Amino acid sequence: MRTPDHQRRLHPRIDLSLEVLYALTQAELVKGGKHAELFDLSPTGLRIEMEDEVEISSSLYIKIIGADDEEFDTQAEVLWARPRQSHSGRKVFDVGLRFEKNLLAQHRGPLANALAHLLAIQEVEPARGYDRIEIEYKAESLEHPGLVLQLRDISPGGMRFTAEGRIGEQVVTGQRMAVFIHCGDEETLVPATVAWVAGQSELGAASGQVIKDSFGVDFLNISDEVSVTIENIIENRSQPDRIVMTFQPDV
């Protein structure tokens, strides 16, 4: 039976409590697994506090349970782990995990829909550790010139964009794409895929309801040259003059 100590409210604007169980094998998870404290969650990963030491690149089996006992079972890769001491003096581990498959692409239902709205509101990418840098640059889409896009953050592994208005079916999870970054006379092509898509509705002060959709992008097999370009943007050594994306790349 679950207890309130193992539940964490992720955001005060959404009545959503989640419990996370983990195990080193699927068989152990079926038997019940161990409780973990959930800190951050995105469609591509999560950050938890756990009592077991785990190796980088190893796999964990995860069960996420909602307030109405709706649950997800998934598998995740350990990207980073940092030991620390808990408030009670116990040795625990902060662990960043990346899901083997996009969480929202695997599941449908009330809990998945609630998570989609939640993830559009909160601004976390736990699977990428602490390397995510918040920025703000205008972007454009070749196929959808009417989309008003903003690059909101960037990390060595991907980007997050927001759009004014509904993205609808114009951007789809798993869709291959390319991002062209223009810095001065140089153009860098970044192969990527759409990792997740989520929507958010708010009440505007004067204009009624405001729709803001967002989507995350994961880079694919980027070269050393591309890595340098991304690193220069992260370290503020260069600023993009133009960011163009195409969802039908010939790459």
How far apart CA 152 and CA 159 sit, in angstroms, is 8
How far apart CA 137 and CA 150 sit, in angstroms, is 6
Residues 6+ apart with CB under 8 A from 237: 231
Domains of the chain: residue spans and CATH: 4-126 (2.40.10), 131-246 (2.40.10.220)
Strand pairing category for 59-65 and 133-141: unpaired
- In three-state secondary structure terms, 33 is coil
How far apart CA 190 and CA 158 sit, in angstroms, is 10
Q: Name the pTM for this structure.
A: 0.50
How far apart CA 1 and CA 24 sit, in angstroms, is 21
Maximal CA-CA distance, the chain: 61
> What tens-digit pLDDT sequence spans the chain (251 residues)?
333 333 333 333 333 467 899 999 999 999 989 999 887 777 677 888 899 999 988 999 999 887 666 777 888 899 888 888 877 788 999 888 887 766 655 555 666 666 665 555 454 444 444 455 677 899 998 888 878 899 988 888 888 888 876 676 678 888 899 999 999 889 999 999 888 777 654 444 444 444 467 888 888 888 888 888 988 888 888 889 999 999 864 44
Tokens of 162: 């927001």
Residue 205 DSSP class: T
